[in-house]
Chain A
Amino acid sequence: MSPQAIVDGLVAGSMIGLGAIGVTLTYSILRFANFAHGEFIAWGAYFALALVSVLGIGMEPLGPFSFGWLLPLAAIVAAVLAGGLAILLDRLLFSSFRARGSATIIMVIASFGASMALRALLEFVFTSKPVYFTRELQIAVRFGGGLRATPDQILMLATTVVLVVAIHLLLTRTAIGRQMRAVSENPVLARVAGVDVGKVVRTVWFLGGALAAAAGVMAGLLVQIRPYMGFDLLLPLFAAAILGGIGSVPGAILGGIVVGLCEALAVQTIGAEWRAAAAFAVLTAVLVLRPQGLFGKARR
């Protein structure tokens, strides 16, 4: 594997990992695989894009980066909006199923329908034509040994590290993190212990949506923005979340990086057109060898 493929894999893997954190959190607390999660990624990217193009200021490239000062701000707003979208989707759809105790799989089907509708809505508004945050070309920084990375890529890796550490601390050191873990283990007991489960559920959706938006803005910056960008990431997200072990944040990010590296390896050895199959290969391997994932406890 060439050094360059490793950099590409790491960057793609950190995007996948950020998305997978949301998948793993909603999965462990709400207990279903949300097929609409990819749409938070796409909606996050389009939220940021809409803000940037409507405001039209602060577009001059900032230092070595390809984007201006507006984009980071727009990304934060987009994260909040995507978090809100996730809460709204739960309020409109999933909360009703939970309230009546619907089968997990009914929620999975509903999330599949919601994903179709959300994506088609993006296509309706923005058309399926790919768009870009910026057209600036970047000069890669050389690290020696053939290792090169653009300033954007380096910033993204750094942002991912910061976000992951922040989420990890939130889960392990704060009251809401404790409550999230408690609800994940036993929602009824959590209520008896004084935990406002509704608040925890909203927090989880918000975090998932916001992190997905962060991944979406990164994907938009590195590749392009398309309505299908989130849906196409869905399989890698699931593969990463399952590989890492459902409920494990470090696992999700590590799983993301493994999937990203496998994709880069596939691109190098087999060809770019097979990139999407790499995630399926990883998923199959995990399910055969260690279905509970790297950091997961055996549980059905």
Chain B
Amino acid sequence: MIDLLGYGAFFLTIALSYAIICLGLNVQWGQAGLFNVGVAGFVAIGAYVSGLLTTPALAGRVGGFSLPIPIGWAAAMVAGAVLSYALGWLTIRLRSDYLAITTFGFAVTAQLAALNLERLTGGPFGMSFIPRPFSAFAADPLRFGLFNLGLVALVLLAMFLAVERLSSSPFGRVLRAIREDETAAVSLGKDAKHFRLKAFALGGALMALGGAVQAHFIGFIAPDNYLPLLTFQVWTMLIVGGSGNNLGAVVGAVVVWALWAVSASAIGALVPADQQARGASLQIVLIGVALCVILLLRPRGLIGERRTISRFADGRGDTRWRRLRRPDR
């Protein structure tokens, strides 16, 4: 019973840290319509920046300033915001999928840097001794787990409320207006580019925060944590939950992480040890197919967006193909 509770707390803590990342993606995609294929890169930046600042100094490694955890988290957010602003600035005037390609390249490069900048990141061996919140209780796993769960839930709640408030603010309304119809929003005198860049930076900050929270909960990070698979998982969470809906992003994160954990342990139990790798591949195949099927059948996700009726989910297509449909009598 205690074990189960402990596992539950562990599972939920991880799930909620994904929810923070997913919330960030929702600000970028759901609110501003900006497509980020480099989620893993921003999560990694957050984890490593916070890790560098908070870990104790270690011989042969740059960094290790033993700073308090909140400073690490704040710095992670700043780093995530600055980097996403820069990438957004580079591509925001171009076609929407150029941003996708650029963020994808960024994630590849970030992972490469984590792997190769050994003196800074620990290279392939990763970075350990990242301070864990409530480490004083580490001897009592249940209490430690519950406290951490509480902390991550609080951080998520704060971010959730902030993003919700933002969505219903004029800023959020303008963002959605731009997302629905950029030409109209621009002609109304709103600086669409500027608004979207801000949203993109905010989303990047949330992703980095999620990465930092995760890193501190586990206490150890390595480049392998930040493969494109992570980006894919977070996207699946958002699509399942329904883009444009902050609550959906949180629910999607928990649901998909649960499915992921259950299917992983099912594979662990059912598949013979020498075939485990294959089982894991099959898991990815199934999730990939599921993502496509949801996009085909329920493009607004399980919960979907409230208030505005989004044409974006299955409307606003490429004008060249859509010229077939648009009424222009």
Contacts and interface: CB of A to CB of B under 8 A. Distances in A.
Indicate if A touches B (C-beta under 8 A).
Answer: yes
A238 interface: yes
Q: How large is the interface on B (under 10, 10 to 19, 20 to 34, 35 or more residues)?
A: 35 or more
A224 B231 CA distance: 26
Contact of A291 (B98, B115, B313, B320): B98
B280 to A, nearest CB: 8
Nearest to B101: A238
B97 A33 contact: yes
A269 interface: no
Interface string A115-153: 111111101100110000000000000000000000000
A269 to B, nearest CB: 14
A116 B321 contact: no
A112 B97 CA distance: 12
A31 B318 CA distance: 7
A120 B282 contact: yes
Given A31-B318, A93-B292, A231 B228 contact: yes
B228 A117 contact: no
B104 A109 contact: no
A113 B233 CA distance: 10
B91 interface: yes
B284 A287 contact: no
Contacts of A284: 90, 102, 105
Nearest to B232: A116
B317 A102 contact: yes
A108 B97 contact: yes
Contacts of B312: 103
B235 A105 contact: no
A124 B285 contact: yes
A188 interface: yes
A70 interface: no
Given A31-B318, A123-B281, A273-B115, A279 B97 contact: no
Contact of A101 (B228, B277, B283, B324): B324
Contacts of B236: 113
Nearest to A279: B105
Interface string B209-245: 0000000000000000000110110011001000000
B94 A291 contact: yes
Contacts of B316: 103
A122 B277 CA distance: 12
Contacts of B96: 104-105
A32 interface: yes
B191 interface: no
Nearest to B123: A273
B329 interface: no
B291 interface: yes
Contact of A113 (B102, B295, B314, B323): B295
A170 to B, nearest CB: 22
Contacts, number: 171
A109 B285 contact: no
Contacts of B18: none
B288 A113 contact: yes
Contacts of A112: 37, 231-232, 235
Contacts of A32: 97, 318
Contacts of B313: 103, 106
Interface stretch (B7-15, B106-114, B137-145): B106-114
Given A117-B289, A239-B105, A280-B106, A105 B33 contact: yes
A242 interface: yes
A283 interface: yes
B296 interface: yes
Interface in A222-267: 231, 234-235, 238-239, 242
B151 interface: no
A3 to B, nearest CB: 27
Interface of B: 33, 35, 37, 90-91, 93-98, 100-102, 104-106, 108-109, 112-113, 115-116, 228-229, 231-232, 235-236, 239, 277-278, 281-285, 287-289, 291-292, 295-296, 299, 312-318, 320-325
Given A103-B314, A104-B97, 15 more contacts: A31-B321, A100-B317, A108-B37, A109-B235, A116-B284, A116-B285, A117-B285, A117-B292, A238-B101, A239-B105, A273-B112, A276-B109, A277-B113, A284-B105, A300-B94
30 contacts: A31-B318, A31-B320, A35-B100, A100-B314, A101-B325, A102-B299, A104-B97, A106-B313, A108-B97, A109-B235, A109-B291, A112-B37, A113-B292, A116-B228, A116-B285, A117-B292, A120-B288, A123-B277, A123-B278, A123-B284, A124-B285, A235-B101, A238-B101, A271-B116, A280-B109, A283-B102, A283-B105, A288-B90, A291-B93, A291-B94
